[in-house]
Amino acid sequence: MIRALARMGLIALVFIIGTPLILLSSWLPLRPQQAKIGNWIVVLGARLILWALDIRLSVHNADRLKRHHGFIFPNHHSALDVIILAALIPIRFLSKVEIRSVPFIGWIAVAIDTVFVQREEKESRVEARNILLDTPRYPPIALFPEGAILVHSELLNPFRYGAFEIAQQSQTPYIPCVLRYEQRKLVHWGDESMVTNIWRVAKRPDGQLTVEVVLLHVVHPRQDDEPQLLALETHGAML
């Protein structure tokens, strides 16, 4: 319990110190390696959170992220998914609009140019689609094609076609990304809050937790590709 409280305290400290720095730096015109300074602070903060939780990343084919301009399509299993992706490179996200109002997390999301969508409203989905079609391709944008997390902790949800339609229409390359957790049931994000999910990981009795990040081949969609087929092929490759 003491170790868990210490871990959560360190995570809280990262947010308390990091959030003002990210918000202030978002106004600066500087773009080191084409990314906002705030995005680089997010990378550092995410790595500190993983260190506090004693989580080690094993990244396969990391070179595929270098100079990648486009989308990243990861599987969605845990609240840790976003932290892990943010620890790799400067990155943006497509997120449900409710995240925008969450203290600290929502403020950071806005500062790093997250695209928000109200999934139940057609107008909001169209607006998000138009933003994704026109937005610069770097930093890369992560979209979770599953759309939600399954109650069952061992399966991969069927993919929605929307992300693949956007990639096909704009001919934007994307990298399928598989996150493989050493203890899937421990990290699985069920019907609970994000804090509860992270707390369960923080208070685990075991030692270091390893997460494999497998970056598959970059896909370059063509104008005549079928989004449904792209989704099915990518889903099969990620199983």
The mean per-residue pLDDT over the stretch 67-88 comes to: 96
Q: Which of 77-91, 107-121, 146-160 has the lowest mean pLDDT?
A: 146-160
Q: Identify the pLDDT of residue 233.
A: 97
The answer on pLDDT for 15 being more than 90 is yes
CA dihedral 43, 147, 232, 63 (to 10 degrees): 0
Do 117 and 125 meet the contact criterion of CB atoms below 8 Å apart?
yes
User: Burial of 50 by CB count in 10 Å (0-12 exposed, 13-18 middle, 19+ buried)?
Assistant: buried
Q: What pLDDT, on a 0 to 100 scale, did the predictor assign at position 152?
A: 67
- Predicted confidence band at 154 (pLDDT cuts at 50, 70, 90)? low
What local confidence, expressed as pLDDT, does residue 172 receive?
A: 96
CA atoms within 13 A on the CB side of 115: 27
Position 153 scores a pLDDT of 59
Q: Is the pLDDT of residue 87 over 80?
A: yes
pLDDT category, 149, cuts 50, 70, 90?
confident
pLDDT at position 211: 97
Quick check: 133 pLDDT over 80? yes
Q: Is the pLDDT of residue 147 over 70?
A: yes
